Chain A
Amino acid sequence: MDLASLIFWIIAVVLVAAALVVVGQRNIVHSALALVVVFAMASGIFLLLNAEFIAIVQILIYAGAVTILILFALMLTRIAGQRVTNPNARPLAMAVALVVSTLVGLGIIFAATVSQFAQSAPAAQLLQGTVCSLPSNNVIAIGQLLYSPSCYSYVLPFEIATVVLLVAIVGAIVISREEE
């Protein structure tokens, strides 16, 4: 077993375990803390896949910002005297949810591994526009892909994403503002 596999399995096990803790914990603060572990482990997976930039962003945004946000929300919506802060639905609903999610997961796994769709390699297709050869530095490569004015790039989606963010900021302020 090579080093990469070893690291993968360690991270994968921790990741799944932490996710199960998030879902299973009855105290919501514990769930939130386990969520940090999930994000961190996911970042490790990204590193294994040579996606350094995204790994860093994952740590910054998810493990940092989103978690803090969630914790703040928990703090603001705390209900006094509630012992189980992270309750579950009725057993029947849980059974249904279990069956549904299992079937969905099995479907995905089946499609990705066993079925003939997994075997058939995608055919090469002609790409419109100039493709610049990207440098091996992941951050530079992504930067070039996002902003390059001359080569094939994602400038337009990027700009749209910025608008989405802006709208989200404004919307969040408007929604959560306390009415006088």
Chain B
Amino acid sequence: MTYRKTVRQGNALPRLGELELALLEALWSTPEQSAASLQRRAGRSSLSTIQSTLERLFRKALVHRRKQGHAYVYSAAMGRPELLGRLLGGVIRQLHTGSLDPILSSFVDFADRIDGDTLERLDELVQQRRQARLAGDEPC
């Protein structure tokens, strides 16, 4: 099963690009901003890039907008903790199903189950080695 398939099935949060996340960060720190003021803050991107990125965020229902004069004013549709929770929830779900295995190295694979007895036995072994090392380290 590919990562892409699982994302479609399991992660309700749409994928976010670097600039999309940067704009959301800007809207969380200062709500109600126009594309022009966001562009001044982002600096490196042109106004049209900012406008199209905001349009994408609006279509993903991640920002609200209202008309003010000739321009739209944008605000984040959800707070940072909620977005973080949804994003990380999706990642953890995929870690559990093992669909992220091909693209990351886990300290311990979630799919790698070990029964309680083996865990206890290995624990004892580790303790024995620890004690043996400490005894060996002690000066005669």
A binds B: no
Query: Which residues on A are within 8 Å of B, measured CB to CB?
Result: none
